[in-house]
Amino acid sequence: MNNDAINNIPENLLDLLLLIHNKLLNPNEMVKGSIIPPSHMKVIFYLSKKKTMSVSNVAKCLDISKPNMTPIIDKLINEGFVHRYTDPNDRRKINIELTEKAYSFIEDKKSEMKSILIEKISFLHENDILKLHSIINDMTEILSKLE
């Protein structure tokens, strides 16, 4: 196994994350003009992949403290994005799931983000765009193998 590659990957990935954050997916730019703060947006996008989860599991997976989750969930309920209900198998558990309004909001946000990203990468040379496409596919395949 190539130790140099293993030792360089963490630093290179951190550098890449910073570049992606600063040049492509700046969260502040992505939520500009939205009624939903970034922390709330994170919950909505996470739930869109998981469908329904307990509040405590969402907090744990997103590294949000339980005391901070309560106002986030309350705000999302008040805005009509989340439905809260007691787990039928364990009445001590509170589950949350997205509403149709949330799914519509996600589609709108994805469309906005795609437009922003297309605008940013459209200045690249065609060879760079094809290379970026290939690299993203390769990284997605490789990173999906991690636990």
- Across the chain, mean pLDDT equals 88
H or E stretch covering 103:
helix 100-121
The most distant pair of C-alpha atoms in the chain lies apart, rounded to whole Å, by 57
Residues 11 and 38 in one domain: no
Instruction: Give yes or no: residues 82 and 99 share one domain.
Output: yes
Residue predicted with more confidence, 80 or 88: 80
Mean pLDDT of 134-145: 93
* 57 & 23 share domain: no
pTM metric for this prediction: 0.75
Say whether both 70 and 87 belong to one domain.
yes
pLDDT > 90 in the chain, percent: 40
> Is 82 found in the same domain as 15?
no
Q: Per-residue pLDDT for 127 more than 90?
A: yes
Q: Is the pLDDT of residue 41 over 70?
A: yes
pLDDT of residue 128: 95
Contact 105, 48 (CB under 8 A): no
Closest CA to 26 of 15, 14, 18: 18
Whether residues 14 and 36 share a domain: the answer is no
Band of pLDDT at residue 29, cut at 50, 70 and 90: low
- Whether residue 47 contacts residue 95, with contact meaning beta carbons closer than 8 Å, is answered with no
73 lies in the same domain as 7: no
Are residues 20 and 35 both part of a single domain? no
Residues 36 and 19 in one domain: no
CATH code where residue 70 lies: 1.10.10.10
Lowest mean pLDDT among 30-34, 58-62, 111-115: 30-34
Residues 62 and 129 placed together within one structural domain of the fold? yes
Asked whether residue 129 falls in the same domain as residue 79, the answer is yes
Q: 124 and 70: one domain?
A: yes
pLDDT of residue 82: 95
Residue 91's domain comprises: 31-143
* Assigned token pair, 10: 């963490």
Per-residue pLDDT averaged across 76-89, rounded? Answer: 92
Number of domains in the chain: 2
Cα distances from 110 to residues 53, 88, 89, 121, 140, in angstroms, run 22, 33, 34, 16, 18
